[in-house]
Chains A and B, each alone.
Chain A
Amino acid sequence: MSDLKSGSNLEKVLRAGHFALTGECGPPKGANLEHLKEKFSHLKGVVDAVNVTDNQTAVVRMSSWAASAVMIQNGVEPNFQMVCRDRNRLAMQSDILGAYAMGVRNMLCLSGDHQTFGNHPQAKNVYDIDSMQLISLVKKMRDEGKFLNDEDIDVPPKMFIGAASNPFADPFEFRVYRLAMKIAAGADFIQTQCIYNMEKFRAFMKMAVDMGLHEKAYILAGITPMKSVGMAQYMAKSVPGMDVPESLIKRLRGAGKGKVAEEGIQFAIEQIQEFKEMKGIAGIHLMAIEWEHKVPEIAERAGLLPRPKV
């Protein structure tokens, strides 16, 4: 295998041509290590890497880099997330060095939900640089070994760089260009927002493949299994940039009382089967939020286990 950028498990799995599987874990709203360990214990050995969210939806939780370090200490590979909302370029570069020193090798660069969504809406907005510039920053630190100001870094961080893509936000025609920009800026892998509108996603992927983006970066399709009709309706109405077709809500309702969660899992498994064959898709990003214990079952039923050892 030619030079790896970071040597992370996720990178090796993707480089070897395997269909990757990543999971997600939100750190606790406190310093509760036991709770954190319990959460990601379900994912150990079941996924290639675990996303660690960064004050997701602007709700304060244990910092992503700290939770990532705990994961490494417990034999699980983290995908350290950093949002642009809470820190300026000094803190960003500083945290990247710290995370790398603690063993983190994958990093996801995100804008971050605006603080009005969260539990501290009065906070000052940072957004010193945006997600596109953050991707470029991490690439500069890794490949040039330099800080943003061109000073040399004393042991540069070799991160496998990730970015998010939301094919369902507006304007639709522009989303694939934005994806192309993130890849050009330095993104090695992409995780999409969770997908429910398969038709729209197929159209998006066709554009991405036509532009050759799948050859420049690994694209992982995002999946979040629906647990209930209420969840589907909430996501359809109240989460900006989320596209939940009426047909799915009808399907869930039709499953009958007590069987909706199973129907949601069924749908997710069908999606996984289609993504396995879809051109341009290198893997799945499974976000079973607060449902981590279901991930082993879903991975098993979707034929994604055992995970490859690279």
Chain B
Amino acid sequence: MIIADRKPVGELLEMVKDCNRILILGCKGCVTVCNVGGTKEVGVLASILKIARKKEGRPLQVDEKTIERQCDPEYIAQVKDMVGQYDAVISMACGVGPQFLSEAYPDQRFFPAVNTTSFGGAVSHGIWAERCAGCGTCLIHHFDGMCPIARCSKSLLHGPCGGSAKGKCEISKEVDCIWDMIVKKKMEKGRLEDLTKMKPNKDWRTARDGGPRKSVREELVQ
């Protein structure tokens, strides 16, 4: 899913500093799964903002609502009658949410409550890690189910580099060297030969480098 982290409270207070009534809109999709923008977190953020503003002597009215997702017009439409009643709306969804809302309701201001980071999954309770960089040309079948574009700090296709030490990436001991893992798995499975063949240069056109992407299902388009 899409992983995000909540922006620092100071930054959010700055965003709403000229507001008296706001709505915090949560999302039951990815941000609920990574515990940053679901119903619970909306409640927590509402309380935090109210506390901060009470302390300043400028109380803030904060309403709360969580919708199914913020990446489909049908769900965005559900808040049609609400959004106009506030000075601004904070969306706790990933970067898609505030943009879809802004497009649907151009007269309202929508602020992002989270910093969206990557595509990934839960590696243990409370910890989510990046797995996919959205390069548009998936190659993980060449690397025994691991992606060096997303998980190698240098996106090498012929790693590991000379900085790989004890299974860790040179940038930090907290980062595993994915190439160490790929090589070890290939050796274990007797497929080392796969790595000795030159890989063609990556075509970055399918990645964000080629410009914003669009996916079309011809069979569904009306």
Q: Do chains A and B touch in the complex (CB under 8 A)?
A: yes
What is the interface of chain A, defined by CB distance below 8 A to chain B?
84-85, 89, 111-114, 116-117, 125, 127-133, 136, 148, 164-166, 169-171, 173-174, 177-178, 180-181, 184-185, 193, 240-241
Task: Name the contact of B158 in the complex, choosing from A132, A169, A240 (C-beta under 8 A).
Answer: A132
A181 and B170 CA atoms in complex are apart in Å by 22
A243 → B minimal CB distance (Å): 9
Residues in A neighbouring B163, C-beta threshold 8 A: 113-114, 169, 240-241
A117 to B195, alpha carbons, bound, how many Å?
Answer: 28
**Alpha-carbon distance A199/B105, docked complex (angstroms):** 69
> Given B153, B161, B198, which contacts A185 in the complex, CB threshold below 8 Å?
B198
**Is the CB of B155 closer than 8 A to any CB of chain A?**
yes
Q: Chain B contact residues: over half helix, strand or loop, or mixed? A: loop
Q: Are A114 and B184 in contact (CB under 8 A)?
A: no
- Known contacts A114-B154, A116-B171, A171-B183; is A136 also within 8 Å of B198 by CB? yes
Q: A240 near B165 (CB under 8 angstroms)?
A: yes
B125 within 8 A of A: no
Point out residues on B near A: beta carbons under 8 Å: 153-168, 170-172, 177, 180, 183-184, 187, 192, 195-196, 198-199, 201-202, 204
**CB nearest neighbor in A for B163:** A240
Distance between A101 CB and nearest chain B CB, rounded to angstroms: 24
Instruction: Tell whether, in the assembled complex, residue B180 and residue A240 are in contact, meaning their CB atoms are under 8 Å apart.
Output: no
Residue of A nearest to B186 (CB): A174
Closest Cβ–Cβ distance, residue A283 to chain B (whole Å): 20
| Shortest distance between the CB of A180 and any CB in chain B (Å) | 7
Given A170-B165, A193-B162, A127:B198 Cβ within 8 A: no
A166 and B153: CB pair below 8 A?
A: no
Instruction: Note all chain A residues with C-beta closer than 8 A to B196.
Output: 177, 180-181
* Complex Cα spacing A174 to B155, Å: 19
